[in-house]
Structures are given as C-alpha cells and as structure tokens.
Structure 1
Amino acid sequence: MGMKNKITMLDVTLRDGSHSMRHAFTEQQVRDVARGLGKAGVPYFEVSHGDGLGGSSLQYGFSKVDELKLIAAAREEAGDSKISVLILPGIGIHEDLVNAANAGASMARVATHITEADVAKQHIELSRNLGLETVGFLMMAHMAPTSVLVEQAKKFESYGAEIVYVTDSAGALLPHEVSEKVRALRENVGCKVGFHAHNNLSLSMANTIAAVEAGAQFVDGSLRCLGAGSGNTQTEVMAAVFDRLGYKTGVDLFNIIDVANDVVAKFMPRPQEITGSSLFMGYAGVYSSFLLFTQEAAERYGVDEREILIRLGKMKAVGGQEDLIVEVAQQIANEQAVAK
C-alpha cells in the first residue's frame, strides 16, 4: 500500500495516565517513559497533573512529585521529542504556564468545556507570546451539536490557536459522529485539527481512524491505554494500525512496544480494562476522570456506582464538578434507606 499523508502522534501517558496513577508518578518513571518515547520517535508527549497545570489540589488529588520537576526531567530525557502541557482556565494560572515553558515545555494545550472557548482567550494569547505551539482543546465534545463545535473552534482560532482538538472526554462518541465533527472543522477553520479519544465504549481506535480519515492531522494515544476511565487509544497499537493503513507517523514500532511493555506495564496499578463502571461512563457520557472518585463514593455510601454514573450523565456533569459525585451517592443512599 502506498503511503498516505503524514499524521502527528501525541502521547498522553504522563498526563492522562496520571488519573489512573492517582497523580503519583515518580521522577524515575517519568524519565524512563520519556526516554522510551524519545527513542521511538514520538514527536510530542504530554507531562502534567491529570487535570492540567496547577491541578494538584484537594479537589483533584495532590501530585506525589511537583509537575514542574517532572516536566524538567522529561525534557532531559526526551531527545528530539517535544513536551506538551495541558492547562485548564480556572485551574492553571499565568505563572503555571510561564513556569512550564521555563521547565522545557514546547506546546500548551488549553482545554475548556465544549461551549466555553471564550474563557481561554488570555491563556491562548499567553501561550503564543511565550513562543509555545498552541492548541485549543474542546472537551466533552459529545455534549454539543457540531455547529456549536465549529463556532467554538473558530473562537479558539481567532485567539491564536494553531491546532483545535475534538476531545471525546467521556469516550461517548461513535465513529460516524467523530467523522462529522472532524470533517466540519476541516471545512470551517484554517488551523490544524486534532482528535483525543477515550476507550470507554471500546471505540477509541475506530474513532481515531475515523478522525484521520476525515482529515485530523494530530491524534492522541497513551501507552498500554494508561489514562482516565478505560484509557485512551493505545499508542503502540495506533502506530501499528496507521502503518498498516499507509500513514506516515515516524514512530518506530519495535521501540514504542518496548517502552509500553518494559516500562509502563510494570508500574500500572491495574490493567486498563473496560469495566462495568467505565463502560457506563461512555454510555452515559460522563467525564472519564470521574471513575475513581465514583468508585470511592459508591463504596463509602454502599450504592451501585453505575447508578451514580447514570445520574451524573443525566445531570450533564462536567470536569470541575467532582463534588456532585458525593452528593449523588448520598442522595441514592438516602432514597434506598427510605425505601426500606
């Protein structure tokens, strides 16, 4: 098969994977992963708290090691790979992004809810002023029609974003929906387009293929699927599949499999399986990073975690509303007590 267009892979193991690791990456783990990703030729990989720069907190979970130290360590090991960071307006502030750039970041991905791109203007402008490649990251993309996605992407582009992402934070999108959204962005914005998947419905690889076939130039993955919920598109699988499909990624297949199996697999706290809970996240459209919080609340109040997730989905809860998880669990427990 003749080679098709080049696509750019971005690995999020050291950021999205922080959710599964309870934000407890050690410096040595980050160094080992960064070295492996660099050796494999992955052009970009992300290092931040799971909820982005400044996310280490009581609400989201404290980092075991300061993220700036991890970014600097990754930069020392990354070779030709570039370091990306995630920042959410309302969590990360001006100083966080400046410090990340000084620590070695080359790209900033500014993430907002699908309908709230306007809150990112200052962050986008700051990122450009710092000389960082700048990305607008539209999360929970399943929660708004494609016309709204396009409208919000145009805002990101007007602020200076060089790439805009369709971000399936809940792993809820189906392949035809991904195709529609990515194609609409390619037709309506001048910047590049990316796609970030979660595997809660076992569709992350299929959705990533659909995104690329619709014109996405950037695609995310994580080694061994290490990420929130059931994880992301598996980076090493993605490299193999796109090679089979004739796309150029520049990623060495042997080396990317080695870092996945010889490094990441050894420190993963659990296999990234599609469990009943993570499946319901995709089914109900719930933010993937809610998984561990939901399991803890279900155990604490003696209720079914699936019921919590269904209700959160109906409430259209989004990132930053983690406090609702406990409230819903308490409500279900009270209802069950009354019913008895």
Structure 2
Amino acid sequence: MAAEDQRPFAVEILDCTLRDGSYAVDFQFTEGAIRSVLGGLEGSGIRFIELGHGLGLNAAERTGHPTRVSDARCFRIASEVLSSASWGMFCIPGIAELDHLRRAVASGMRFVRVGVNISDVASAEAFIALAKDLGIRAFANLMKTNVLGVDGVTDAVRQCVEYGADAVYLVDSVGGYLPSDVTELFEKVGQSVMIPLGFHGHDNLSLANANSLAAATSGAQFVDTTLDGIGRGAGNTVTEAFAATLYALGDRGRYDFRALGELSESVVRPLERLHDDRTYQLVGGVTGMHSSFFPLISKCARIANVDVFELMDAVADIDRVNPAEDMVMETASAMDAR
C-alpha cells in the first residue's frame, strides 16, 4: 500500500526536550536554548511542550540539583514565546506541593503531568483534582510501569480515571520493553479502560522509537519525544524521527519533520552532555533497573568487591521500584560470601 493511501494514526506528540533532556545537560539549559526550542517546536506543529527541571516543579529547590533557569523564569519565557502551543510541567507529589501547581497555572501553564510510581498512585489524586479545579489538562504519568503485569497496570490506570485524569501515560522508565510488549500492553489496557493513553519510552535497547510506534498503532493517543533523543540515561524517542515516521505513514499535515531535524541539529546536538555509560544502560534495560539506582548499586558492588552488573540483576529480582541501601548492601555481601 502506498504511504499516501495509508490511514494516519491519531497520535499527538508531546515534546519533553526541555524537561527530560535537562538531565543530560545537568539541568543547565540556557534561556537562549529554551527560547529557541520552544519557538522551533511550536513552529513545527508541536502543540504540547513540557519544560523545567527533570523532576518537575520545585525540584531545583528540593533536590539539591539546581537549574540555570528557575521555574518562575521558565513560566515567563514559555508565556512570552508560545502563542498556540500549550506548555506544561512535570510534577512529583512530595517534591512539589499543591501551591506550586497553583502558581504555575496562574502563570499560564495549560497542562500538568503528575508523576507517580505505578505501584503507589494514591499521591496523584490531590494534584489531579486541583488541576481539574484550576481548569487545566491533567496527565497521570505512571513511572516504572514495567514492574507490574497487564492486570496491575490496568488497575492503576483505573485509579487514575477515578481521580479525574484526562489521560494516563504508561512509562517505560528503564527502556526495557520490546515492541511486542508495548503492543500487548496498550491493546489490553485500552480494551479495559475508557481514557486516552500515552507512552513515554527510553532508549536503553535502542527501541524507544519502535516502541513508540507500537504504542501509536495499538491505541496510544499521546507519545513523548525529545529532539535528538536527549534525555535521562539512554535518552528518549527522537522527536524528528518519530514525526518523520508519522509522515511516512500518511500523517502529512501536522508536523514539519524537516524543521524539527534542523532544530535538533542546530540547537540540541551541539550541547555538551553528561557521560552516559552504555553498558549500564543496556544492563538496566535488560534487568528492569532504573538508572537512578546505578550509583547506589555501584557503590555497594565496590564495597563488597562483586560484579556490579550481577548485583544489579540480583537487586532487580528483589525490588525494582525503590531498593533500599541496606538491602542492596546485604545482597552484595551475600554474593561475596558465595
């Protein structure tokens, strides 16, 4: 079948270059880069743009990892630059408080993405409820979706429906899904809940774009992307490549993939990025262990003089959501004793 005869997928790109990509530059995006990316994305047809600290609202103050441009300044820049696209921020309950959400909305924010571990979604309720009261779109982002099977994922999505979420994202936080996994997940969850679903993929196994396409062809209505794939750890689905893929499949009217490619080449590719250890990312993808735990596992492996990747595998079998240091050290010591 010719590409022009194929039916385009009804999937919306949500670009999070300026949010997830901030990890890769140690949260040091300049104001000039922020303005260029915002304007370029809007001019290329992107309607949903996320910015700010990788961990969301208030994270620069709460986590000890400051951004070069504050939340308040990001609010102003986005409101000045964007005229048609909506801008939003990530929000992790506990890092952000409800007042931070109120201030962002008062500054012009039109959507929020409430990030919670899929194994404990209750903390999302108050933030979703407030977002709805304030009249903005509320996404629930179920981080570490991979730790639950389809039934567990479906139950978590249903909870978010009860909270009033407008859409729910399934998040491959460790970049470990295969396209067949994504297809099964979206088909089965989509059959069980009546709410738009989104997909956020990481590229540990170089499958983020393939997985995003699998999600789109299986019912996802939103897909996260970043220019040049810039993001935490192994990075994300590539905005310009995914837009070009949609074009090849018949979606010819919305996204200018050539302009996105030029934006990626001129603004994002020249940025100096933190080192990404490829072996760690590969093992993380295979074991299902999130990159935020790599430093802890590495430290315990050094102390116990055991192989870090074998320890990562062992820890993943015990707790992939939030492994405690005591548990990791005990596991390493037990490996050493053997």
How far apart, CA to CA, are the structure 1 residues paired with 2:71 and 2:306? 35
Distance 1:49 1:318, change over 3 A: farther
Whether 1:286 aligns to 2:311 is no
Return 95-104 or 53-62, whichever deviates more.
Answer: 53-62
Return 282-291 or 303-312, whichever deviates more.
Answer: 303-312
Deviation at 1:243, TM superposition (A): 1.2
Maintained 8 Å contact 1:208/1:219: yes
Q: 2:56 aligns with which of 44, 49, 52?
A: 52
Structure 1: tracts of 5 or more residues without a match: none
Deviation at 1:248, TM superposition (A): 5.4
Maintained 8 Å contact 1:199/1:231: yes
How far apart, CA to CA, are the structure 2 residues paired with 1:146 and 1:334? 33
Query: Residue 83 of structure 1: SS of its match in structure 2?
Result: strand
Deviation at 1:333, TM superposition (A): 9.1
Maintained 8 Å contact 1:200/1:231: yes
Query: Residue 136 of structure 1: SS of its match in structure 2?
Result: strand
Equivalent residues in 2 for 1:23-172, closer than 5 Å: 23-57=27-61, 59=63, 61-172=65-176
Equivalent residues in 2 for 1:143-292, closer than 5 Å: 143-247=147-251, 250-269=254-273, 275-290=278-293
Give the aligned residue type for 2:143: M
Return 66-75 or 151-160, whichever deviates more.
Answer: 66-75
Distance 1:334 1:146, change over 3 A: closer
Query: Residue 176 of structure 2: SS of its match in structure 1?
Result: coil
How far apart, CA to CA, are the structure 2 residues paired with 1:145 and 1:269? 34
Whether 1:10 aligns to 2:14 is yes
Give the aligned residue type for 2:261: I
Deviation at 1:210, TM superposition (A): 0.9
Deviation at 1:185, TM superposition (A): 2.5
Structure 2: tracts of 5 or more residues without a match: none
> Which whole-Å deviations, capped at 9, do the CAs of 1:103-147 have from their partners, x for residues lacking one?
321111111111222221111100111111111111111100111
How far apart, CA to CA, are the structure 2 residues paired with 1:268 and 1:98? 34
Deviation at 1:37, TM superposition (A): 0.9
How far apart, CA to CA, are the structure 2 residues paired with 1:241 and 1:171? 20
Give the aligned residue type for 2:259: N
Give the aligned residue type for 2:137: E
Maintained 8 Å contact 1:8/1:249: no
How far apart, CA to CA, are the structure 2 residues paired with 1:284 and 1:122? 33
> Which whole-Å deviations, capped at 9, do the CAs of 1:159-199 have from their partners, x for residues lacking one?
11111111111111111211121112321222211111001
Deviation at 1:83, TM superposition (A): 0.7
Distance 1:182 1:331, change over 3 A: closer
TM-score, normalising length: structure 2: 0.88
TM-score, normalising length: structure 1: 0.88
Deviation at 1:44, TM superposition (A): 0.8
Distance 1:281 1:15, change over 3 A: same
Deviation at 1:101, TM superposition (A): 1.3
How far apart, CA to CA, are the structure 1 residues paired with 2:10 and 2:252? 4
> Which whole-Å deviations, capped at 9, do the CAs of 1:56-110 have from their partners, x for residues lacking one?
2574623233122123212322332211211111221101111221232111111
The percentage of aligned residue pairs carrying the same residue is 29
